[in-house]
Structures are given as structure tokens and as C-alpha cells.
Structure 1
């Protein structure tokens, strides 16, 4: 079902009411969780066996907690907790009574996690919503979040005479003021695009209403003949791939002798409200390819896409294959989904009820605000991105210094209303791309038309594009696929320069015609390699990048130099 056309006074009234409701609820549907609660409660009431199981689990947990509390009281050495949890791994949490408090909380979480799944008749989406929202409510009641039940806060307070609270209060006031004035987070003033972020030398060689194309200056006497075109997601600034010297993937590519072009998307406002996915295909990838071909004529191009930029690149490549256009020599996709049937926890925010609020609000404003998307990501990892940070800053009085990746994350972008609705409905909600219904230029595209070799990267702890979802391209496309699973999450797993510690990856190639291997089987049979995956990709590209030639000049007659990198669009706020 698509959003209704606004062609009558009654529909305009509904739209305005939904937009007003979205402002009250911070764009979160109240109907969707209510439906999930009703579905779960009704079916649980009709499942006496499941209720007996949950009662038995509660009784078992109570007995374990009592025994643990008794042993903790009587023993000088803290016993091993029944349910160890990384959030309470510190030594202060292992002593009575705090160990009993944290175990009571962890057991309650475990009970509710069990209670919200496996109930006969409950819709899967509703069951996942119940599990998600119960976790959110329980997270707020964690003993770590209260100063009088957090032993680390109590110890810090005793040691410093309460100065941690004074520092925390100061930081809280500063954060509130920044929020009220839409100022960036504290510490971002230490970073600036073009000064210590996005500093790889290059020139803007194309600009239109939607993007700037940057060509990076060569850093080697000769380069591989075939250039690379980098397509970042339009929901983020491109320079996560040119983060800072030493941690820039684009810099690394240029240093290895590749000619690199990168798209820098415009930060849209209300005037771009009608830009849709087809506009991103035409004004984005199609125009970029024409400019690349003007600078490096007669050579195929290696496409590189990150996150939704990789999804967009897949659509463009499928449309080109449909039309007999063979300019892409290979595709590399970083944490990019093409099948959205299992999009992970982000799918919790995508149903008709939720989209109706977002679309009504975007119709009035013309775009989705950056903080709305950031808020959804925060809830997906509420402990890491919200509660632990609040405890550290406001209760312990420690404000960690921002690093380059955190500064980039704070430099968010907006999304045009039409485009955001297009991709949420067609990709996430209806999964049109994987099922052959997606229209590009008015005609359907099929991923099965892709024949070029592919290098696909998934990350182990990705909450945005779960690696098993990224892996699904194996049964959608007959091409040769080199699949890499790397440690880290959606961003840190991709920004993984050689030399960083605690990095590893798995890699294996699926040849055309090879029998399909399920994700878990692939994981278990593929050996682990220590270190960054970047060198493995560089080796893969080197075998496909053509002979070494003299570097092309920056720009061309049909793509003249318009200014220095990083350009102007990336500076828009």
C-alpha cells in the first residue's frame, strides 16, 4: 500500500493531523506498538502452555537469584553471576549488594526477551516490536543509570567529593544549550572539513543540482588504467571514506595507484522536496559516469558503493545491464543491502503506521531532518549510544574527546521527502528490488542481470545493514562474488586502515554456478585472517584495474575543474 494522494480537504486534514501527531511523538508511531501489544497480549492469553513456561522460568530465575545473593553474602570471593553481562563486567559490580541488583535486572531482561517471542499466532513484526520496546523501557530502569545504585558512580563521588556531579551538571547545561540552538556537539570545533577532515587533494570536476564529483590527484607516477567511482549514501556526508590522513580509504586507494572519483551529495532543503530515486540515479550516478568517461575516455569503471549508496549503485548497474551498457567493470559494495526482507532492527521503524507519520511530516517540511534518523539509530543501540554515554558524562563527570569518526557522525544530512518515501516503501517495506519489481526509468530492473565480478563487505556487528542481509546477494545474482566479513560495525568496520589492532576478517569467493552456501555455514567454514581487509580489496582491484599508465589530468573539456576538493556541497548544514 502506498501513501494516499492528497487531493481532497479531508485528506489534507488527515495529513496535517498526522504531521502534528508526529511532532508530539518525535515521529514515532503510537499505533504500531499499541497493535503489537494487543496482538502479543491476546495470543499469550490464549497460550496456557507458554504462560506455564514463563511462570517456570520466573520461578527458576528467582531461585537462582536467591542462591546467588546468599552465596555473595557468605563468601569473601564473589561467585560467578548466573547471567554475566558486559554492561556490568567492572569489578565494582561484582560485590554485594550491587551484584544482586545487576543480576535481578539482567534476569528481568532475559525473562521479557523470552516472553516476547515464541507465542503462537503473534505476527513476527509485532513480536519484534514487543521485544524492542520492552528493552527500551527496561534500559531506562537499569541500576547503572541511577547514582545511588551504580557502585562506580558512588566510588567516584566519594573519591572526588561530588565534583563529578558538578562537571556532569556543567556538561548537561552545555548540551541543553547546544540542543536548543541546534549547535553541533561539544568537541566538533576541533574538526573542520578541509582542514583535518576530507583532506585528500583533488578537484571538483562536475556539479549539478544534486551532487559534486571530486577527482582526486594522483600520488604515484603511474596508475591503473581503469578508474574508480565512489558512491556514498545520501544519508551521510561522503567523507567518512576520506576521514582523516591515515584513516582515509580514498587516500589509501590513491596511494596504491588508483584514479578515484567520488560523489559528494548536496544537503537538500525544502526546495529539493520532489527529488526522487530516479533523480539520484540520473543526476547522481549517470551524470557522474559521463564526467568520469570524459576525464578517462574509453575505459570501463569500477563502481564502489557504501550503505544505501551501494544499493543505489546496484540499481544503476542493473539498469545499465538491462540496457546493454557495459561501462561498469566491477562492483564493490560496503555494508549495502539489496534484499530487504530481513533488514535487522531498523525494520522495526518501517511499517505503514510509522511511514504515515514520516510522510505527513515530510510533506509539510519537504525533507527528513538529520536528527530524526539519528534518533532511530540511537534507540537501536541505546546502551552504547545513549545510556552509557549519559552515565559517563553526567554521573561520572567524564566527557570523552571526540575523534574524527564521531565528528563525522555529528555532521548529518537531510533527505528529500519524495526520495525518502520512495526508498522506504519500495526497498524496505515492499522489497521491490530483490523481487524484480523495482522500476528505474519506468522499467523493471533485475539483479540477476549483473554479470561483472563483485567484492562485497559485511560487518559483524552491523545494526543498519546486518551482514546476513548483505550476504543475500549470493542468491540474487549469478556473478562471481568475493564476500568479506570484517570485525566492527557499520562505520568502524569499513574505516579499517592497516595497522589498527584488534581487526580481523573472513573472505571467500563464490564462483558462477557454484552451489549456494548458507550464511551460517559460510561463517563456520571460512577461516579468520588477522588485520585489515583493505589490502585484500586492493589486491582484488589490482587484478582487474588494467595496465599501469600515466595518470590522467585533473578534469577535461567536458568536465572542467570547478574548484578544490572537498567542494562546497559537503559544507552545507
Structure 2
């Protein structure tokens, strides 16, 4: 029995470690017996010994130099990239193992025997012609082991199949823990999955045949290059996903023409230049999440939502939040809501427009809902013509995997990491990466450090690694009051700028978009906004997830979306009666926006930021988005 989740995790990891130790000698014997594909000429390895030795010396020298720098204080301090922290963020609070460990262990032994018989039997008997078995000897599939090298040799076939079987066993065991609250069981399941992913044989040189083959082919140069990548990442405290030199803000990212027309210590307001002779009378203000850079909506020209909206004739403003520093240690919920109201008033006054359309993406959508409630309470709801929510949550009852990180222990740990009044954005990036550790951590460990691959030039991954610091006081309040205690949906349980918040007073026409595969703001959670707003609501379910489900330009012809009864009793009821449409949902949103107000005006005067007589601050994308 495991009385503590740390014991459970430790106990779960020991069989993996023992398994890898046990496999070492058996693998060497089998490789000698069967021969390893692509590595048949073992005599050549002896001849290349000198070159391998030189590579080993260079790797050792690089590592010693790095460690010496750390000892002397260069790169000192807490490192968000420290792999040990990936698991401590997710530890659950289990009290006992499954109620019937004997039955589970018997199943594990039976499955193990079937794997050995299937894998070794297929190789000994020959998997060709008439001897090929009707049943696949490698029944467990996982794209980490898709390369032929994992199937071509019995040692590695047995290794990865046994690993996948054991992974099923331990994750299944975590799911069966009894006597604890459901959310604690979910935390334990998450932590166990993280451990299982970390122990995968493809993450280690000697148990990854693809890496072994590459090492022999390059005479170890892949490992030398990988060591450079690893040391650079450890120095900056962040896993690198893409080529940092491939993109430049204002050149090939965030390059839609515009000007910064307003600035406060918390945000800059960017207005984009029109590309049409006429524009819609009601402008649009986009509030991106302050946990990320705003240019997720202005990536390369073909992917930019902002450019696409400008090309439809919309006057677009976007808020560029400042990355937090020590000067923002007292910034709280009220400040972000005041900032959103300030941006609304600034755009209205600048263009002499009675109202604006608004978009709130993710957490900025949460504060947009609060902003709408504040304006409604003050009798100023008519300042906002419409509100669109991109993957935004207001009711956190079903908030998904991020709730695994929200308990007193995690909040205390986050507080300890925020001694200067702000939380380093690298911690948040590590948290989001750990939600999909197999894809966003270990995949890159293998490619970057073991295979020594060049970094790809991928705009979305570049943005993902461009982290933003958060004001620690507000971040803690957000996690505690919204994620943990779900106060936003309790009328007047929260207030902002002295005004009580009641979402049931929001009657602004709202367009609510959710991603079907979103693991950050699950569709079930986003849907619940329809249960609180009292104005007209249009709900749309988009294919893909939190990012690709939003950034899906029509020209790409990707994914799909569903429309249906936005006042259905549940998301399941909505889906049951929904109609599927191919491609991007952006045109559907644009049609909805025109239904709110389709009046047009000439694109002149201050509709052209920086035109004659118009005082502006600087060119888009502005300084704040470039501040680290």
C-alpha cells in the first residue's frame, strides 16, 4: 500500500528502473545473436573508436565548463527547466493503491508472458511468408516507436512493448485508487502519466535504436550537437522548440501595419491600418491573454487573424500587455478590468464611435466577462456592441487538467517562486508543456539532445516559447478565486474597481467559441458560459484545440466546426443536434458580427493611425511585446 503519492510515484518508478537494468545484458546477448539492423559492421566501430573518444572528451569538457559556471553563480537561481520540477508540479494526494493489487499483478504477469511469446516467437520462427503469425506480435501502438528500428530487432521490439504494457498497468493502477476525492485521483493519474512518459525507453541513448544508429552513422556528432542544445537550454532555463533566429517581430511575425496609439504602465493599444476604402463603423478591440504575447493572432501573414479581420474592413485594435516586472508587484484583478475599460473608452473616443466590438481570448475572455458585468452594473453596457470569447472560461467547475496544479501546496510553491513580485513566465510555459509532456517535452528531448536535430522554423512554436512574466499577486488570486473556488459565477462574490460582479446581468450579444480537443479550456467548461449570460448567445464548437482551433485561417481549409442550439441543455445536447461545416469558422463569426452592426464609414481621419495630424507613439507591434 502507498500512503503518500510520493511513495506511489517512487514505487511506480522502481519497476521501470529495474526493468531497464535487467534488459541491458539480455539486449547485448540478443543483438549479438540476431544482429542489429543498420549496425552490422561492428568491426567498423573499432576503427572509429578514436573519433568516438574525441567526441566523448568534447562532451565531457562542455559539461564540466557548464557546471563550473553554475558553481560560480553564472546561471544560478531556480531553473524552470529542471526536470525534477515537472513532476513536483503534478503530485497528487493518494492514500492507497488499488483495492485488488493481486488481480492486477496477475494480469500484468499474463500480459508480460504474451509479449515475450509473441515477440520472441515471431523472430525465432521468422515473420515472413507462411510463418507470419495471424496475430500482430507487437499489438501495442505508439508513435514514439513507429520507426522500423523498434520492430526490426527482438531486443527493441520486446523493450518497447513491455514498456507500453507497464505504462498501461501503472496508469490504470492510479485510476483505481480508492478512498480519495475524484480531483485527487486525477492529480495522481496525471503525475503517474508524467513519470511513465519520463521513463520511456526512447528517452535514453542505450535503449533507443534510432539514436544508436544515428550515433554510429555520425560517429557521435549527434550527441555533441545535442549537448550544445542541452547546455543552452539549461542556461536559459527553458526548453527550445524552434529556431530562435528564424523570426523577427515586425518583420515576419506581428507584421500587420499599424501604430501604437495609447500606452499605460500595463498595456499598449495598437491600431491597425485599414486595407479597404471603407470600414465598418463599429471598431473591434481584441484582448489577448496576458500570459502570452498578443501576436498569436498576428503570426505570419497567411495565419494572421488580425490581418484577415482588417482585410474584411474591420478597424482593429489589439491590447499588448506588458510582461510583468518588479514594478507590477501590486497589480491585481481590478487593474486588468480597469485596463479593458480604458481601452474600450480610448477606442470609442478616438474614433467618435458610441460602442465597440470586443474579443477576449482565454484568460482575457474571463476578465472580459467581468468587465461586461461591471459595465452592466454601472449602466454602461451600451459601450460594448458585442463580445466574442475565444476558448474562454467563466465557470471553472469543469476546468480540466490545469486544476491538477491548483491546491494549497501548489499555490504555496508558486508563491515561493515569486519573491520579486512576479512569476517568471518560464514556469508557466513548463506547466503548459507538462500537460502534454510526451509531445512538448520528451519529443524534443529525443530530437534536440539525442538525435541532435536542427531546430525547425515554426512560427507557432516560436510564439509558444516567447514567455511572459505574470504579476504574482494577481496570478495567485486568479488561481485561488477562479480556478479553485469558482467565485466568478457566484453573484457578487467578487468585485472589481468597487463594483460587484454578477454575470447574470450581462446582456451583451455574445459569440462563444470552444475547441473540441482543447485541454487548457475544455469545451465542456467553455460551454458553461451559456448558462450564465442572459443576452443572446451563439455557441460554436471548432475542430482542434486551444491554439489551432482558433488560429485557423480560411485559406488553410483545415479542420471543421459545428453550429447548433446555443441554448441546449448541455454540450452533449448541442453536439447531438449540431451541424458540421468544413474549414474555418472565421467567416461564420464575421457574418455574426455584421448582424450586430453592418454600417460602414470611409477609411479616413483617425481610422488611419498615424495619418496627418494624428499623434501616435510608435509603429506596431510596439515595445511591450518585445520586452523580456
Task: Report the TM-score range of the alignment, normalised by the length of the smaller protein.
Answer: 0.7 to 0.9
**1:458, 1:486 within 8 Å by CA — same for their partners in 2?**
yes
Partner of 2:270: helix, strand, or coil? strand
Counterpart CA distance in 2 for 1:184 and 1:388 is 12
Secondary structure at the residue paired with 1:332? strand
Where 1:189 maps in the other structure, the secondary structure is coil
Measure, in 2, the Cα distance between the counterparts of 1:300 and 1:55: 65
Residue matched to 1:65: 115
Distance in structure 2 (CA, Å) of the matches to 1:314 and 1:366? 26
Find the residue that maps to 1:425 and give its secondary structure: helix
- 1:342 to 2:398 alignment: yes
Which structure is larger by alpha-carbon Rg, 1 or 2?
2
What is the number of residues matched between the two proteins? 538
In 2 relative to 1, CA 289–71 (structure 1 residues): closer, same or farther, beyond 3 Å?
A: same
Matches within 5 A, 1:203-222: 203-222=259-278
CA distance, structure 2, for counterparts of residue 538 and residue 68 of structure 1:
56
Maintained 8 Å contact 1:64/1:82? no
Indicate how the Cα distance of structure 1 residues 88 and 460 shifts in structure 2: closer, same or farther if over 3 A, else same: farther
Structure-2 residue corresponding to 1:275: 331
What residue in structure 1 maps to residue 169 of structure 2? 111
Name which of 452, 455, 477 aligns with 1:397: 452
Change (3 A) 1:86 1:467: farther
1:494 aligns with 2:544: no
Query: Would the alpha carbon gap of residues 25 and 431 (structure 1) be closer, same or farther in structure 2, given more than 3 Å must change?
Result: farther
Does the aligned pair in 2 maintain the 1:178–1:185 contact within 8 Å? no
* Distance in 2 of aligned mates of 1:532 and 1:135: 33
Deviation digits for residues 462-500 of structure 1 (CA, Å, limit 9, x no counterpart): 222122211221222233332222233322222211222
CA distance in 1, matches of 2:568, 2:185: 34
Q: 2:581 aligns with which of 526, 529, 532?
A: 529
Superposed CA RMSD: 2.9
> Which of these residues, 582, 590, 597, is aligned with residue 538 of structure 1?
590
Pick the aligned partner of 2:528 from 454, 472, 489.
472
Describe the shift of the 1:57–1:486 C-alpha distance in structure 2 as closer, same or farther (beyond 3 A).
Answer: farther
Q: Is 1:324 the counterpart of 2:374 in the alignment?
A: no
Aligned to 2:212: 154
| Aligned equivalent of 2:36 | none
Equivalents in 1 of 2:359, 2:513: separation in Å? Answer: 11
| DSSP 3-state at the match of 2:359 | strand
Which of 342, 356, 364 lines up with 1:287 in the alignment? 342
* C-alpha contact (below 8 Å) 1:447/1:476 kept by paired residues: yes
- Quote the residue 1:435 is aligned against: 490
Deviation at 1:168, TM superposition (A): 2.4
CA distance in 1, matches of 2:414, 2:275: 45
What is the rounded CA distance, in whole Å, between the counterparts of 2:575 and 2:587 in structure 1?
21
Partner of 2:538: 482
Residue number among 262, 269, 287 corresponding to 2:318 in the alignment: 262
> C-alpha separation between the residues in 2 aligned to 1:212 and 1:477?
29
User: Structure 2 vs 1, CA of residues 186 and 300 (structure 1 numbering), >3 Å: closer, same or farther?
Assistant: closer
Tell me: CA distance 1:397–1:524, structure 2 relative to 1, closer, same or farther (3 Å): farther
Q: Do 1:29 and 1:353's aligned partners in 2 also have CA atoms closer than 8 Å?
A: no
> Where does 1:166-181 land on structure 2 (aligned, <5 Å)?
166-179=224-237
**Equivalent in the alignment of 1:88:** 145
For 2:175 and 2:87, the matched residues in 1 are separated by 22
Structure 1: runs of 5 or more not aligned:
1-19
Task: Kindly provide the CA deviation profile for residues 195-223 of structure 1, in whole angstroms up to 9, marking residues without a partner as x.
Answer: 22211111222111111111111111111
* Alpha carbons 1:175, 1:186 under 8 Å: kept: no
TM-score of the superposed pair, with normalisation by structure 2: 0.79
Q: 3-state SS of the aligned residue for 2:555?
A: coil
Q: What displacement does 1:255 show?
A: 0.2
- Could you tell which deviates more after superposition, 159-168 or 466-475? 159-168
SS of match in other structure, 1:154: helix
Q: Deviations over 1:368-390 (max 9, x none)?
A: 00111111112111111111111
2:233 and 2:239 in contact (8 A); partners too: no
